[in-house]
Amino acid sequence: MYQIIGILAVFGAVVSGYLMEKGNLRVLLQPAELVIIGGAAIGTVLIGNPPHILKKILSGISGAFSGSRFSLHLYQDSLKMLYELFNAARKEGLAAIEKDIEDPGQSKLFGNYPKIMKDHHVSNFICDTIRTASTGGVDPFDLDQMMDLDIETHHHEATLPVTALTTMADSLPGLGIVAAVLGVVITMGALGGPPEEIGQKVAAALVGTFLGILLCYGLLGPIASNMTKLADDEKHYYQVLRVCILAFLKGLPPLLAVEMGRRAVPGHVRPSFQDIENACRKKGPEAAAA
């Protein structure tokens, strides 16, 4: 929602200022310039990126408009899920949750959190780490390094479409100059004609530079920046899972392990200690108020 408002604000401010100076909007409508700039920009992305990154660019742009899914509610449910998993393992041993981690899709424990477990990266991160720990003989320090490597690899993959879109945005001013140069070439061929015709061709050429700069700094650049923040939010989420799992594997009680993870949650979406304790111990609102 805010992204759409921002785009409207950018283009609205530019057009409003142009009209305040008695500008003619028809001069800005140059389909040929858009074809040159837009087509060339798309071509550079197709040249520089394999198909799987192209798909991620489209999904990343869609995600930038839908907003971050890493909300306070998601963190609270994730910490509660880990508490239940740790509690079951602490009472009956890691072997007791073997069926849950081997087939999370059929697990009753994980089945209570379908929105979390539908992300196969999250499911694999939790289950593969616990499965490795259950084999025995693995030092928590090594498990920590393994989780850190997993997070960095996943984050690197998440930033690849951002890099591709940023490269595309950076190319737009240059492609706008290309469109402007072509317009100047056309203008030079029209020398000797009516001054009005020459003026129109010069204006059309300058619109190419204008569109390249506007689309770069007013649209694609901010979208790429938004995608970067979404990738960082996802990395923070995995770091919280890592802190919780590592704390439990080091021998901390489930509730304390979850509290360690809660402290790693970014402040604007961090649930309170009381909220997590109530959720983990399944206290109702009346009990929490008391």
Q: Quote the pLDDT of residue 289.
A: 39
* Predicted structure pTM score: 0.87
Euclidean distance between CA atoms 23 and 196, whole angstroms: 16
pLDDT digits (tens, 9 = 90+) for 58-102: 999 988 888 888 999 999 999 999 999 999 888 877 777 888 888
Give the pLDDT band (50/70/90) at residue 105: confident
pLDDT at 214 > cutoff 50: yes
Of 246, 264, 255, 263, the residue nearest 84 (C-alpha): 255
pLDDT at residue number 169: 93
The CA–CA distances, whole Å, from 208 to 29, 37, 205, 219, 257 equal 10, 8, 6, 16, 57
- For residue 186, pLDDT beyond 80: yes
CB 212 within 8 A of CB 179: yes
pLDDT at 286 over 70: no
Domain ranges of the chain: 28-283
Span 274-287, average pLDDT: 70
